[in-house]
Amino acid sequence: MTEWVDILVRARGGDSPLWGVLGFGVSRFEDAYVFSVPVDDDRLGLGADLVEALRGWGAGGAGGFGDGLALARWVAREVGDSWGVWWWDDVRGEGRRVCWGCEKFYDQHDEGRPPHPVHLVVEGEFGYAPLRAEGFGDFLPGDLVGALGLSEGLAEALGAWARDVDAAVNLWLRDREDRAYEEVCERLYREGLGLAERVAREVGGGRTVTYKGLANGGFAGMASVRWRGDRRV
């Protein structure tokens, strides 16, 4: 089975607009170094809606200019950082690598750091935002650094959960009611678990999401549950 280095999205009228790229520098997109990849190839694991859209667009030959770019970005979001995904720009006559986390091309990002976090953590901790990733610190659902594209409802729920964590700790510091605090922590723990699973589903299989529980919830609040898309891993 041939292994590719990158994926090129280019409609040429065949069964699939996806092409495996073997590399070889400036010659990477010449016919000798690309081969057709089925849209339903298990190694990609693309969703059914995307597979159908790619088939329909690719069958049209050159395809729509904007449609091809949108599909390339969709492919990139689903595969994450597993492979580089390139879109063939017919106007420029060249391949351009699309970012899996936002609408930019890869070369439009600052060099020296990954463009977006790949391995996300959801954790409730007093005084911190509910999301974090190595190299990025903690951040809110709507922060541009995350490029998560979460639904408004989920973003609001995560923010409310983080505020509830802060309120619970403040209440315990004031009253020192251990039993009441434990009961609140149990509820917040369950809520956080559900929110982390929702985050994993919305960001897709290109990223992992790990739920770490409550940093201020004692031993009972600790957790390490990980998802990739809708699968627990």
Provide the pLDDT for residue 27: 66
Query: What pLDDT, in 10s, does the model give residues 102-147?
Result: 888 888 877 645 578 889 999 999 999 999 998 889 999 988 777 7
Write down the mean pLDDT value for the chain: 88
Assigned domain for 107 exists: no
Same-domain check for residues 141 and 72: no
Same-domain check for residues 125 and 53: no
Assigned domain for 106 exists: no
Our measurement of the distance from residue 196's CA atom to the centroid of its chain's CA atoms, rounded to an integer in Å, reads 13
Query: What pLDDT, in 10s, does the model give residues 152-175?
Result: 999 999 999 999 999 999 999 999
Assigned domain for 133 exists: yes
Helix, coil or strand: residue 212: strand
Assigned domain for 161 exists: yes
Residue 2 has pLDDT above 70, yes or no: no
Number of domains in the chain: 2
β-strand partners of 6: 21, 84
Same-domain check for residues 140 and 195: yes
Provide the pLDDT for residue 139: 94
Last residue in a domain, options 98, 132, 153: 98
Assigned domain for 113 exists: no
Provide the pLDDT for residue 10: 92
DSSP secondary-structure letter at 189? H
Provide the pLDDT for residue 5: 83
Name the amino acid, one letter, at 73: R
Task: Say what the alpha-carbon torsion angle 52, 54, 57, 63 is, to the nearest 10 degrees.
Answer: 170
Q: SS in 3 state form for 109-178?
A: CCCCCCCCCCEEEEEECCCCCCEEECCCEEECCCCCCCCCCCCHHHHHHHHHHHHHHHHHHHHHHHHCCH
Same-domain check for residues 32 and 129: no
φ/ψ of residue 226, rounded to 5: -125, 140
Same-domain check for residues 63 and 168: no
Assigned domain for 140 exists: yes
Residue 188 has pLDDT above 60, yes or no: yes
Residue 191 pLDDT grade (very low, low, confident, very high; cuts 50, 70, 90): very high
Assigned domain for 114 exists: no
Query: What pLDDT, in 10s, does the model give residues 45-79?
Result: 888 999 999 998 988 755 555 789 999 999 998 88
**Angle at 149 (CA atoms; ends 100, 145), nearest 5 degrees:** 70
Provide the pLDDT for residue 103: 83
Assigned domain for 144 exists: yes
Question: Residue 117: left (phi > 0), alpha (psi -120 to 50), or beta?
Answer: beta
Q: Which residue has the higher pLDDT, 182 or 60?
A: 182
Containing structural domain, residue 86: 6-98
